[in-house]
Amino acid sequence: MRDKRLTTKRDGGRPNAAAHSLPKTASGIRGLDEITVGGFPRGRTTLLCGAAGCGKTLFGMEFLVRGATEYAEPGVCISFDETGEELAANVASLGFDLKDLAARKLLAIDHVYIERSQIEETGEYDLEGLFLRLAYAVDSTKAKRVLLDSVETLFAGIGNESILRAELRRLFRWLKERGLTAVVTAERGENTLTRHGIEEYISDCVILLDHRVTEAVTTRRLRVVKYRGSSHGTNEYPFLIDTDGISVLPLTSLELNQEASDKRVSTGIAALDAMLGGEGYFRGSSILLSGTAGTGKTSLAAHFVDAACARGERCLSFSFEESAPQIVRNMRSIGVNLGQWVDEGVLRFQSIRPSTFGLEMHLVMMHKLIAEFNPSIVVVDPLTALLSAGAEFEAQSMVLRLVDFLKSKGITALMTSLANVSAPTQQTDVQISSIVDTWISLRDIESSSERNRGLYVLKARGLAHSNQIREYVITGNGIQFRDVYLGGEMLTGSARIAQEAKDATAMVLEAEESQRKKAILERRSKVLESQIAALQLELESEGQELRQLAAQGELRTRKLNDDQRVMQKSRAAEPELAPKSAKKESSRK
């Protein structure tokens, strides 16, 4: 058998390998084709089972309608439960116009109905009539897709179960032989996938739908139980039925292979940009703003959004606490006009109560809106409100999925988190923190009977960020950062102002003091200088005296010699001898 060979898992079930190994028919249902890596097995039958009211028929109908409208594959619906009119009315709410499709020969609906009370069974029979009707419908539309909804109704209508089972087996084989991609729905049984064991005839692909209520919140979920010859997502995926049909959420495509952009995006506040290394956040990264109540998380987010919208980027803001007009009004009070961006269509608010539906539904809704609006920035305010809608583990995994999804789309995500006053870093924060790239903590700083606000960057992956706690004030002109007080410990508010005044006074006093000291010193040095000058004068006068004395001495000596000479002359002493003997006498000495 061919599909035996295909059952071997290859390449760790990588999508491409699987897509090549087994031809598939795209269901056209959002998200489902990602989970099933391409859709339902082409030319085979897929079993769709689930309890009443979980959306089996809608799933099947969307498969047919999408095929007819988007893939040029007409479809046939053999409905055992509802008439064509009922079906048309039911799916009209999803925006499907079955009558139009039928008129264009893209869809044929045949309502097969058995009233057992009207039927007597005598002897041999088979269900050839069903085959002929199906064949007729398929031929008249050249159908590629078939929906049998729900085949188990036959068990109520046909008394002879052994004939019915044999005929069902033949039916599925017939569908395969005709190369029809079929979806068969069946009611979920007590302990089995289907009440009447249809799964034993359909072995290619089995999808289970579920509809669960937990804590008064209902969530529809889908799981691919089996997909022979193909890899597939094995988790339970929530899905949403709304006016555009079904959206399945392929939640955990958790391969860490997102693009990492080097581009930066401004926070909307120059001082904060500077704290993050000059240019703000990384584009496509995820940012968590955590802080206690009233620290200005929403305001900070508003600045970010405002700056982005001013650059012409599209922003989508999910708000779980305030309505859109309320946010616009409140932000206007701090000088941020978000209303203009809403009017221009670059900003969209989605305000919804967290308790409206379960976590997953929120996520599905967000996925859908993001796909519709195509924003480059998404704000979730506050994330913690959303987390209250689910259990702790669920919450974390949901945030992970959300962040993962936004990253894969290259969307910059700003999420706020309300921290407990008593414990500024909550458990949830810690859990989320490993997922986010940048974590900015806003906190109250209480001192001298005042509350002031301080901001610091707890972490910023890949950014040379500041380690300072910066004070900021929320003014009528938005958030403004105060200059850093450089004198040791951090002071905020009036304490900072007082300290600054004190510092200023001290500086004036100090200046005066030094001026005074300088004057004294100058005076002293002048005195000394004058003393030096006096001494210098003294020195000079003494030198003069000395020279006078020397000159007098010389004069005296000369006079003495002259006198002697005069004396010699007058005594008529031998002029030649006398000096010689005098010389000899002096050398002898």
Partner 1 sequence: MSTKAQPSRVLDRPLDPPLDLPGEVWNLRLYVAGQTAKSLQAFANLKRICEEHLAGRYNIEIIDLVKQPQLAAGDQILALPTLVRKLPEPIRKIIGDLSNTDRVLVGLDLRTKE
Contact residues for partner 1, defined by CB under 8 A:
110-114, 117-130, 132-133, 135-136, 154, 157-158
Query: Which of residues 128 and 244 has its CB atom nearest to partner 1 in the complex?
Result: 128
Residue from 276, 292, 344, 294 nearest 315 by CA = 344
Determine which helix (DSSP H) or strand (DSSP E) holds 220, and give its type and residue range.
Answer: strand 217-227
> 413, 287 in Cβ contact below 8 A?
yes
Which burial class, exposed, middle or buried, applies to 572 when counting CB atoms under 10 A from its CB (0-12, 13-18, 19+)?
exposed
Looking at residue 191, the DSSP 8-state letter turns out to be S
**How many residues does this entry show for the chain?**
589
Token pair belonging to 228: 């022979």
The residues facing 258 across adjacent strands are none
Helices (H), 374-426: 383-387, 392-408
Q: Measure the CA–CA gap between 108 and 74, rounded to whole angstroms.
A: 8
Taking the complex as a whole, the smallest distance from the CB of residue 259 to partner 1 amounts, in Å, to 55
Task: Return the number of the residue (53 or 129) whose C-beta is nearest partner 1.
Answer: 129
We find the least distance from the C-beta atom of residue 109 to partner 1, in angstroms, to be 10
Q: Which is nearer to partner 1, 111 or 228 (CB)?
A: 111
DSSP string for 471-502? EEEEETTEEEEPPP--SSS---HHHHHHHHHH
Other C-beta atoms lying within 10 Å of the C-beta of residue 118? 6
For residue 114, the minimal CB distance to partner 1 (Å) is 6
Complex with partner 1: residue 150 or 438, whichever CB lies closer? 150
CB closer to partner 1, 165 vs 223: 165
Please, is 393 exposed, middle or buried when counting C-beta atoms within 10 Å of its C-beta (0-12, 13-18, 19+)?
A: exposed
Nearer of residues 127 and 414 to partner 1, judged by Cβ: 127
Query: Is the Cβ of residue 120 or residue 215 nearer to partner 1 in the bound state?
Result: 120
CB burial class (10 A; 0-12, 13-18, 19+) of residue 333? exposed
Least distance between partner 1 and beta carbon 121 (Å): 5
Nearer to partner 1, 113 or 547 (CB): 113
In angstroms, give the least distance from the CB of 113 to partner 1: 5
Structure tokens at 125: 């029979």
Q: Nearest approach, Cβ of 137 to partner 1 (angstroms)?
A: 9
Note the helical H segments in 23-80. 32-35, 56-70
Q: What is the DSSP letter of 30?
A: B
CB of 81 to partner 1, least distance (A): 14
| Bridge partner list, 182 | 45, 146
Please report how close the Cβ of residue 168 comes to partner 1 at its closest, in angstroms.
12
Between 77 and 380, name the residue whose CB sits nearer to partner 1. 77
Rounded distance between C-alpha atoms, residue 72 and residue 199, angstroms? 29
For partner 1, give the closer residue by CB, 99 or 212. Answer: 99
Min separation Cβ 115 and partner 1, Å: 8
- Provide the minimum distance between the beta carbon of 135 and partner 1 in the complex, in angstroms, as a whole number: 7
Alpha-carbon distance of 297 to 303, in angstroms, equals: 10
Closest CA to 241 of 94, 119, 130, 97: 94
